[in-house]
Amino acid sequence: MYKVLFNREIGPSPHSFLLPDPVRDVGDYGAIPTTGLISGHQGCVGCGMVSGTNQVLRALKLTGKHVVASIGTGCNEVITTQNTSCWGAVSVDHNDFPNTAATMSGNIAALRALAQAGNVSPDSTINVGIAGDGGTYDIGLQAFLAWIARGENGLYVCLNNQAYMNTGVQGSGATPFGANTSTTPFGKAIHGNQRRPQYLLDLALAAGASYVASACPLMHRDLMIKAQKAAAIEGPCVLELYSVCPEGWKSETDVFHEITELALETRSWILYEAERERKTNTVLFTLNYAPKRFLPVSEYLKLQERFSGMREFPEMVQQTQEIIDARWSFWQPLIEANGLESKGELHAS
């Protein structure tokens, strides 16, 4: 186990108690030159993971280092490898579905060999792995946990769209309770996904990750700060991105913004980060966003047809609310200490 500390400040933070200096605050999105994914990908209109990948790459390029990305099978790989030029100057390899984290170890070994031969400087490169939730929570979990156990430097990005989208919307370990997927259909006898979702960042921390963070492309400044931190902190670092998927979520293609905002305001997606100080085995938790309104989860379910069946079953909506409340209760002491809760509503300044 580890000792838990809370950062009293709520909000995006370029500071880390593991780094001598803060990372560069990337500020407004518009101020950054486009060096992430470039044109030519084949993502659906309104796809969240295109924007998420783009922001990660932009943030990493800001460090001036060369990015080596190992990408696991899934939508992100399929939509960017018919035309690999959309990766620009990133060195990218497509690995097998379960192997993203194992390939990261191969890449770091290759970097060490090149450095020993005097061909590159050892800290000239950022070692990145990118995979979906199916490729991480399920088939890639063994490689992922073993990579963390090896303690190597690298940034693993999980693009979480909460199902196996590339192969026809099968449920994964990250699929929300009650969601309609092709393996958890909403029928008369069984009402959608009957399991509660797992939480990747909990697993990663328990396995010994140095830094874990959740982010979403809507909060681009927060996301890009976190990507830079994860690239700078020693040891395995994990970034999990909320990735809106109109195709699998059965949502309109132009409500990316609204869905993400509802996810944050209902606490269906919590923006936070955790850094581990190894000597004292202390983990510092920072909440990066406190909802402005304490909306019930029923609001979040409205814009996504994958949840439409649940609307007829108020007890399922209530169960979803309980799952959310239970997870949020971890942050309750911090919320109270900041005086943010009042009459059932949160008023963050």
Ligand X SMILES: Cc1ncc(C[n+]2csc(CCOP(=O)(O)OP(=O)(O)O)c2C)c(N)n1
Contacts to ligand SF4 by CB under 6 A? 43-44, 47, 49, 75, 79, 161, 165, 245-248
Least separation in angstroms between CB 73 and ligand X: 4
Burial class (CB in 10 A: 0-12, 13-18, 19+), 174: buried
Q: Does 156 bind ligand X (CB under 6 A)?
A: no
Least separation in angstroms between CB 82 and ligand SF4: 12
Q: Where are the beta strands (DSSP E) in 105-152?
A: 125-132
Burial class (CB in 10 A: 0-12, 13-18, 19+), 6: middle
Q: Does 46 bind ligand X (CB under 6 A)?
A: no
Between 46 and 134, name the residue whose CB sits nearer to ligand X.
134
Q: From the list ligand SF4, ligand X, Mg ion, none, which binds 79 (C-beta under 5 to 8 Å, kind-based)?
A: ligand SF4
Within 13 Å of residue 191, how many CA atoms lie on the same side as its CB? 14
Binders in 52-81 for ligand X, by CB under 6 A: 73-76
Between 134 and 192, name the residue whose CB sits nearer to Mg ion.
134
Least separation in angstroms between CB 234 and ligand SF4: 32
* 3-state secondary structure (DSSP) of residue 114: helix
Q: How many residues bind Mg ion (CB under 5 A)?
A: 5
CB 213 within 8 A of CB 226: yes
Q: From the list ligand SF4, ligand X, Mg ion, none, which binds 261 (C-beta under 5 to 8 Å, kind-based)?
A: none
Between 53 and 210, name the residue whose CB sits nearer to ligand SF4.
53
Between 111 and 244, name the residue whose CB sits nearer to ligand SF4.
244
* 3-state secondary structure (DSSP) of residue 211: strand
Q: Which two tokens stand for residue 174?
A: 């990250």
Q: Does 166 bind ligand X (CB under 6 A)?
A: yes
Count other Cβ atoms within 10 Å, centred on residue 314: 10
Helix axes 48-62, 220-232, angle to 10 degrees: 50
Least separation in angstroms between CB 324 and ligand X: 22
> With helix as H, strand as E and coil as C, how does 205-224 read?
HHHCCCEEEEECCCCHHHHH
Give the Cα separation of 171 and 337 in Å (integer). 38
DSSP 44: P
Q: Does 133 bind ligand X (CB under 6 A)?
A: yes
Binders in 94-113 for ligand X, by CB under 6 A: 97
Between 132 and 176, name the residue whose CB sits nearer to Mg ion.
132
Q: Which two tokens stand for residue 91?
A: 């060195």
Phi, psi of 308 (to 5 degrees): -60, -35
Instruction: Using CB under 5 A, pick the residue from 133, 240, 261, 275 that binds Mg ion.
Output: 133
Q: Does 246 bind Mg ion (CB under 5 A)?
A: no
Least separation in angstroms between CB 205 and ligand X: 21
CB 142 within 8 A of CB 81: no
Least separation in angstroms between CB 319 and ligand X: 24
Binders in 275-304 for ligand X, by CB under 6 A: none
The secondary element (H helix, E strand) that includes residue 59 is helix 48-62
Binding site for Mg ion (CB under 5 A): 132-134, 161, 165
Which residues of this protein are in contact with ligand X, per CB under 6 A? 73-76, 97, 131-135, 159, 161, 164-167, 172
